[in-house]
Each structure stands twice: as structure tokens, then as C-alpha cells.
Amino acid sequence: MPTDRRCITTPIYYVNDRPHIGHVYTTTICDVWARFERLLGRDVFFLTGTDEHGQKVEQSAQERGLSPMAFADEISAEFRKTMELFNLTNDEFIRTTDPQHEQQVQSFVKRLMESGDVYLGTFEGWYDAGQEEYWTETKAKEVDYTSPISGKPLERAAQDNYYFKLSAFQNRIEALFAEHPTFVRPEARRNEILGRLREGLLDVPISRTNFTWGIPVPGNEEHVIYVWIDALFNYITALGLGEPDGDRAGDRRDYWPATYQVIGKEILWFHAVIWPALLMALGLPLPHCVYAHSFWISEGKKMSKSLGNFIDLEQLQHYMDTYGLDALRYFLAMQGPLGATDSDFLRAQFHETYTTDLVNTLGNCASRTSAMIGKYCRGFMPADSDAEIDDLDWASFCNEQVAITIAAMERFDLSGAIGAAMTIVRRVDAFINDTAPFKLAKDESNAPLVSAILHRCTEAVRIAACLLEAVIPQKIAELRSAWTLGDPSGDLTTECRWGGCKPGTPIAKVALFPRVDDAGPHLGT
């Protein structure tokens, strides 16, 4: 894979739920990363979509008096609209009902049958109808024959199933984890998987016969392919890896393997164990990293359907209308549950983050600097001088923060990346307060000094802005236009070098983040 290619995926979202903060969160953090990589000049493929088969969708459709397809069309369209609403720049939106996906899944399963990795066997044990998941006797006993997800009793099940021979991959999966310690991140999640791996891998039933809304097993149409197997394949069907050579999507294949497959922690087992085993069985390369983030909870409580406290689209829209989309993106990326612990979505904290970081720090520095340039330098970027104003070498200081940001983004440490960019801005803030150019300007003989101070402030804010562009693209576009910075060059590293904004460049005043009165309680609370 040429090094300038990157691929990032989100889970594909079930259509029997409406879009909510969880879906928006995962897709937004992937979007931040994808944009950042594009700014660095990399050729990025960013994939998201909807997971549309299975018993639950069939039932939800029935309850609504719709065909499963009509139901899936409706909710999938809602997810697609959500991606647009939140300015998410996915390159493809895959649906598991796309004929291209269905055909490729069948061809993969056929290959697995031919290689003996999928075989027909009889299952006797327990079935969790809500999760469409089978449980062995031992496992079912551990949970007292009750679904840990829905709380409903497991059902006794005996049926012929196609199985994926996961047990045959025990050694290879263990070797994968030993040889690639960052295959699953964060570390705490990796350790959980290592623990479960020690219990030994069992073969996985990958077909169902008790309903029909799914992709038929090739050669035995009584069976449909288990929705999880169908769904996992989306990552490679979207890139055309299962298409015959020379087909339409052939040119996308080079994006595989994915750089990051970002998921929530609840679906890690499928992605960290079953998925790589399937790829191994097919002789395909493995993703570089499966990144499992934690969960948003809401005002101290787990979000759940029964509590009805999901931060839904309406609530998100409310934050967007009050604070702006970029403020929401900033909060999600900066305060989200990227690590091993859950994050609480607190209205008060949202307000505080917005006010402290965006209004008082970034917005304030940009507006003070440009207002003073308007007042003391006729609105043009002033020249620097050799004057030693403070003990900081601004060029190397900024260089360091640029390097920290890029390195943090590379390891998907979004708050680390944002933090380094904000370090620059905070330094500018202190610099303005310490040197007080507005006071110096009262004496005309200080003009060269004032120019030098404002030059340094503008350069530093410009560099920080370039680093933050992936997070708050609309606001940075405003700044670019006010400060005549042009469009992003596609070479972020060069753009972030000190001295990029030449003296004489028109610098207009900007007000990026308006102060917001306290936004009031969550809607509906």
C-alpha cells in the first residue's frame, strides 16, 4: 500500500434505531481524522453506512406495516441525511441491501465453503432472539439463561446451521495479538480480548433459518447469512474486494487494508476476533488497527431506550442551533470517550468548554489580534523584527506543537492533537496580556515593536488554525477568508511552517465564536 493512502471506517448502523449521539459521535471522530489526513495531502477513503438485514429489522418493519425494504429505505435515508447535516465527509455510504454488497457477500461465503472454513452442522443450545445470537450451554448458564442485553429469557434452540470454523484460528489470532500489540486499541480493550481468547475459540453459526430478511446462503436458500457476518463484510464489499477483476469498483481496492476501523466497545469481539479470522480464511490483509471507543452517557445516566434519555437528533440539533456545528464537533472530539472510560455528556460542561476554549481562547485571540492589526497596521500583516520580545522562539515552539499534533492524530489521539494546537493559542493569549501591545501603541516610537508582536500573534494563530481545521472546518474557513490565507494547500506540514503569512497580507477582523448565554437544560428534561 503506498504510504499516502488511508482508509477509515465506522460501524454500519442498524436501521431499527433512529440516529443519535452514538452514531454521530463515531462518525464525527472518523471525519475529524479523515479531514486531517486529507489536509496532510493523503488519499483518504472514509466509509460509513447502514446495516439493514436480520430478524429485528424484519419485525420492526412488520410493526410499522411496511416491507423490510421500504422500512430500511426510510431509516437508511435518515442516517444518510444525518451525515450531511453534521457535515460528515464520508466517501461512501454503504447499505447492506445494495445488490453489489449482497453479491460479494455470497461470493465470499462460497469461497469459505469451498475452502472448508464454512461447513454445515447441527447446533443445540440457546438462542438470544433480540441479539440473533446463539449461546452454548456453558455460556448460557453463566448468564442464568437470560439475555444480558434485553433481559429476556434465552430460548432453547436446535437447528442445522452453517458454521465458520473459528476454532481453527486460535493460534493465528493469538499470534496476531502477540505480533501486533496495537491491532486492538486502547490497551484496556486489548487486554479484555486477550482474556477471552484464553477461554478458547468456538465455531460460530453463521446462518439462520427462522426468518428470511437476509442474504441467502449460496446453494441453500433456506438459510440466510447471519446479519453480523453480512455486516462485517461491508468493509471490503464497499471497496469491491469481492468483485471479479476489472469491475467498476476495482480502483478502490487499494484502500484496503483499513488504517483505522473505529467502533464502540460493545462490538469489539466481532471486530477483533471474528473479523480478522474471516479475513485470514479469505487470504486478505488485516486492518492495521481496530479502535474501540467507550460510550457517552447522559447527565450521569446510561442512555437507554427504556429511560428514553438518548441524546437524539433533536437534542443535537438544539446544540447546533445554539452553539454552531463546529462547537459540537469540538466538544465531541475533545471530551468524547475515546479512551477506556465512558464520558458524561453534561450540558454545563458543553457550555463551559465552548466558552473557555472557543470563545475566550481561540475566538478572542483571533479577534484581538486582527482588531489590533486593523487599528495599528491599517489591516495588513505587519513585519516581524529581530527584537527579543519574550524568551520564546516562536518558530520552534510552533514547530514542536505541529509535530505533537500530527503524531497524536496518527495514533488517533484526538484530544491530544487538539490540545497541542490549543497550547499555541493559549501562549498567544498570554503573550498579548504580557506585552500589552494596545498600551505600547500609545507611543509611536514603539510601532516596530507592536508590529513584531502582532506579526507573531497572527502567525501563531494561523498555524493553530490550520491544525484545528479538521475539527472546526467552517470556522477556520471563515478565518482563512478574513485573513486572506487561501484554501488549504493539501500540504499541512508546509503550511504550518513559521512565516507562511507574508507581511502585507490583508487581515480583516473576525468574530469566530459569539458568546452564548447559558443554553438551558437538555430538551425534554
Binding stretches for ligand MSP (CB under 6 A): 11-14, 17, 22-23, 25-26, 51, 231-232, 234, 263-264, 267, 295-296, 303
Q: In what order do the strands lie in the sheet with 220-225?
A: 207-208, 220-225, 216-217
User: Under a CB-based contact definition with an 8 Å cutoff, are residues 177 and 190 in contact?
Assistant: yes
- Residue closer to ligand MSP, measured from CB, 192 or 478: 192
Distance, CA of 286 to chain centre: 19
- Residue closer to ligand MSP, measured from CB, 231 or 272: 231
- Residue closer to ligand MSP, measured from CB, 26 or 364: 26
Q: Which residue is nearest to ligand MSP (CB)?
A: 22
Going by C-alpha positions, the residue among 300, 308, 292 that lies closest to residue 344 is: 300
Going by C-alpha positions, the residue among 479, 485, 452, 460 that lies closest to residue 382 is: 452
Q: Which residues are paired to 263 by β-bridges?
A: 292
- Residue closer to ligand MSP, measured from CB, 12 or 461: 12
Residue 227 Cβ, how far from ligand MSP at the closest point, in Å?
8
User: Under a CB-based contact definition with an 8 Å cutoff, are residues 417 and 36 in contact?
Assistant: yes
- Residue closer to ligand MSP, measured from CB, 373 or 414: 414
Q: Which residues are paired to 123 by β-bridges?
A: 159
Residue 271 Cβ, how far from ligand MSP at the closest point, in Å?
7
**Integer CA distances (angstroms), 304 to 18, 24, 125, 295, 312, in order:** 13, 16, 29, 12, 11
Residue 209 Cβ, how far from ligand MSP at the closest point, in Å?
21
Residue 237 Cβ, how far from ligand MSP at the closest point, in Å?
11
Q: Dmax of the chain from CA atoms?
A: 91
User: Under a CB-based contact definition with an 8 Å cutoff, are residues 493 and 467 in contact?
Assistant: no
Alpha carbons 93 and 80: distance in angstroms, whole number: 7
Residue 270 Cβ, how far from ligand MSP at the closest point, in Å?
7
Chain position carrying cell 458524561: 344
Residue 445 Cβ, how far from ligand MSP at the closest point, in Å?
58
- Residue closer to ligand MSP, measured from CB, 19 or 363: 19
**Integer CA distances (angstroms), 169 to 202, 322, 426, in order:** 10, 51, 51
Helix, strand or coil for residue 470? coil
- Residue closer to ligand MSP, measured from CB, 37 or 230: 230
Residue 97 Cβ, how far from ligand MSP at the closest point, in Å?
13
Alpha carbons 466 and 477: distance in angstroms, whole number: 10
- For the chain, helix, strand, coil in percent to 5 are 50, 15, 35
Alpha carbons 68 and 312: distance in angstroms, whole number: 23
- Residue closer to ligand MSP, measured from CB, 278 or 425: 278
User: Under a CB-based contact definition with an 8 Å cutoff, are residues 102 and 221 in contact?
Assistant: no
Cβ atoms within 10 Å, residue 416: 15
Residue 295 Cβ, how far from ligand MSP at the closest point, in Å?
4
Quick one: three-class SS letters along 174-207? HHHHHHCCCCEECHHHHHHHHHHHHCCCCCEECE
- Residue closer to ligand MSP, measured from CB, 309 or 451: 309
- Where would I find the beta strands (DSSP E) of 193-279? 204-205, 207-208, 216-217, 220-225, 260-264
Q: Which residues are paired to 158 by β-bridges?
A: 124
- Residue closer to ligand MSP, measured from CB, 152 or 439: 152
- Residue closer to ligand MSP, measured from CB, 28 or 364: 28
Residue 94 Cβ, how far from ligand MSP at the closest point, in Å?
10
Residue 19 Cβ, how far from ligand MSP at the closest point, in Å?
9
Residue 374 Cβ, how far from ligand MSP at the closest point, in Å?
43
Chain position carrying cell 471522530: 29
